[in-house]
A and B are shown apart, each in its own frame.
Chain A
Amino acid sequence: MSLFTMKNVRKTFAHGEVKEEILKGIDVTLPEGKITALTGASGSGKSTLLTIAAGLQTASDGQISFEQQELTSMRSEELRQIRAKQFGFIFQFAHLVPFLTVEEQLALMLETAESSLSKQEQKKEIRQVLELVDMWKRKNAYPPSLSGGEKQRVAVARAIIHSPKVLFADEPTASLDSKRSQEVMRLIQRLSKERHITVLMVTHDMDMLDYVDHVIEMRDGKIIQEDSIH
């Protein structure tokens, strides 16, 4: 049994009277501890699929299982707990909390994930992760004073500080220049390896595929191609 699988996932949006099927039966199994990239034309349904997988919106039909648990039949509180403890998120924009310092963003994530670490250990962990993303020296800065790349690195740190099992990322490098993008990708790659995190990542940028293990290509709500790279 694998860590994360989706079976026949469908999603229909109603535009008034007209119903439009955005996901038309998706079957995916994420290779454990590897990075899977989701590519495809704009509007093909990548973000919709990612957010459904991450439990941020519901599927119209199909099964999603994580560690043998069926996410689609869970109550919202159970789903919240899984999101808080087992999942990490990186969005296209960093979406940091504007009134918390870099360090506090991570502390909040640990608290939300109900981390079993002592306060002391949490401090150490925060330091380690911030050093990893090269943001320790800015630990007391507030998000509005950070550059786009810096914010995104903090977002990466927040997404992995609680050692999630699965990391969901929607175009995490879209707001960065290519040098910064490469840095963030290298970071995600390293974290995935070191912490054995399974990653599902939407990307437009073909250059980013250098860092992934598995590529899924979508078109019009269907998977048209799946490749293992390494």
Chain B
Amino acid sequence: MKMAWKEMKKNKLRYTILGSIVFLISLLTFIISGLTNGLSQDNASLIKNLPDGTFYMEEEADETYSFSSLSEEQQQEITEAQPEAAFFSIQMGNFIDTSDKQRSVAYIAATNSSYYPQVNFGEVILDASLEEEGIAVGDEITNEQWDQPLTVAGFVNHEKFSHSAAAFINPDDFQALFHTDTMQIAFVADSVAQNSNEATAFKELQAFSNSEFLNTIPSYSAEQLSLNMIVIFLLVISGMLFAIFFYMINVQKLGIYGILKAIGVKTGKLFQMMWAQMFIISVISLILSALISQAFQLLAPGGMPFHLTWPATGQLSLVFIIIGFIGATLSGIQIKRVEPMQAIQQGEM
């Protein structure tokens, strides 16, 4: 460790370059990962905020929630098996606010649910993002197709669906507005489920886990997949960079390695030295980019979907370190191969 540090101090430029490249790539990875997560929240926080559990939709709906309709009898049947089951429906739509501006929202009606706000008849509770846009409690919102306006009764934080703000309304309003007398989705949280070891199966209903259900949301899986691919590519590239950089640094040090081997230094110790250097560089770069990406999160404009938690940063950092370790070790195979004789014959370094 001491030798590793001494060498880095004596060759500051070389290691600073490596460090700054690792820093830039990890910063980019953190930012993109924050965006991935932010978009995912923006797209589906309504679902993501739910505890782990099982979702049920009609089998005939072919995994599309808007085609699913659970009849009274089906709801009854589910409630008998799972008394704590919640039912809800989602409908994308819009309204006109007091300043005559049209807003798209996701209307949500839920019964028997502690996960979503209970709303009185004739009222609506909106996602807080709309409050930031100037809508206030007491405002009346309208829609050409409605007979009656709805009154804004309050706001909730972080409830979005399909990149739109959630608008919670009373189930009776929902039925009247959208001409339906069924619910689309049933949800049973694992923590309240009967015989919770296994999700209960129902005739003609298809069960989904939370992540399976998220993937049924149009655009969600496509969006997440492409962003996650970028993150994975960045991680792989950073591993290759470590390999290439350490390879170049090692090539320049082969003479020293040879002499150290000649006087009896263990090959393992030379590897430890390289690992220690890789570790020091990664940790410093990762701490810097973690701090900067968190600062970015604080300073980013409110409308920007960016969400990066410390645990997520920690996990990514760990992956970086593991990948760096693999990269450095691969490049270190030359250390194993170097013969003391080559170095001795090479003359002065």
> Do B349 and A113 have beta carbons less than 8 Å apart?
no
> Do B256 and A51 have beta carbons less than 8 Å apart?
no
- Interface pick from B3-11, B151-159, B196-204, B301-309: B3-11
Q: Which of B307-349 contact A (CB under 8 A)?
A: 339-341, 343-344, 347-349
A92 within 8 A of B: yes
B21 within 8 A of A: no
From B340, which residue of chain A is reached at the shortest CB distance?
A56
Question: How near does chain A come to B231, taking the closest CB pair, in angstroms?
Answer: 36
> Do A56 and B341 have beta carbons less than 8 Å apart?
yes
CB within 8 A of B349: which of A80, A83, A95, A104? A95
* Alpha-carbon distance between A16 and B225 when the two chains are bound, in angstroms: 55
Question: How near does chain A come to B167, taking the closest CB pair, in angstroms?
Answer: 65
> Do A83 and B343 have beta carbons less than 8 Å apart?
no
B234 within 8 A of A: no
A2 within 8 A of B: no
CB within 8 A of B259: which of A97, A142, A170? A97
CB within 8 A of A97: which of B256, B261, B341? B256
**With contacts A91-B344, A99-B10, A100-B6 known, is A109 near B263, CB below 8 A?**
yes
* Alpha-carbon distance between A84 and B262 when the two chains are bound, in angstroms: 8
Question: How near does chain B come to A206, taking the closest CB pair, in angstroms?
Answer: 23
A93 contacts which chain B residues (CB < 8 A)?
347-349
A99 contacts which chain B residues (CB < 8 A)?
3, 6-7, 9-11
B266 contacts which chain A residues (CB < 8 A)?
80
CB within 8 A of A83: which of B7, B263, B347? B263
A175 contacts which chain B residues (CB < 8 A)?
348
A108 contacts which chain B residues (CB < 8 A)?
3, 265
**With contacts A100-B3, A104-B6 known, is A95 near B264, CB below 8 A?**
no
B262 contacts which chain A residues (CB < 8 A)?
56, 83, 89
> Do B341 and A95 have beta carbons less than 8 Å apart?
no
* Alpha-carbon distance between A186 and B130 when the two chains are bound, in angstroms: 90
> Do B265 and A56 have beta carbons less than 8 Å apart?
no
Question: How near does chain B come to A221, taking the closest CB pair, in angstroms?
Answer: 18
A94 contacts which chain B residues (CB < 8 A)?
348
Question: How near does chain B come to A166, taking the closest CB pair, in angstroms?
Answer: 13
From B2, which residue of chain A is reached at the shortest CB distance?
A104
Q: Which of B254-291 contact A (CB under 8 A)?
A: 255-256, 259-266
A57 contacts which chain B residues (CB < 8 A)?
339, 341
**With contacts A83-B264, A98-B349, A113-B264 known, is A51 near B344, CB below 8 A?**
yes
**With contacts A56-B341, A97-B260, A100-B6 known, is A112 near B348, CB below 8 A?**
no
30 A-B pairs in the complex with CB atoms less than 8 angstroms apart: A51-B341, A51-B344, A56-B262, A57-B341, A80-B261, A80-B264, A80-B266, A81-B264, A83-B263, A84-B263, A84-B265, A85-B264, A91-B259, A93-B347, A93-B349, A94-B348, A95-B259, A95-B343, A95-B344, A95-B348, A99-B3, A99-B6, A99-B11, A100-B3, A108-B265, A109-B263, A112-B263, A113-B264, A142-B10, A170-B344
Question: How near does chain B come to A11, taking the closest CB pair, in angstroms?
Answer: 12
Question: How near does chain A come to B284, taking the closest CB pair, in angstroms?
Answer: 19
* Alpha-carbon distance between A158 and B339 when the two chains are bound, in angstroms: 20
From B6, which residue of chain A is reached at the shortest CB distance?
A99
Q: Which of A90-143 contact B (CB under 8 A)?
A: 91-95, 97-100, 104, 108-109, 112-113, 142
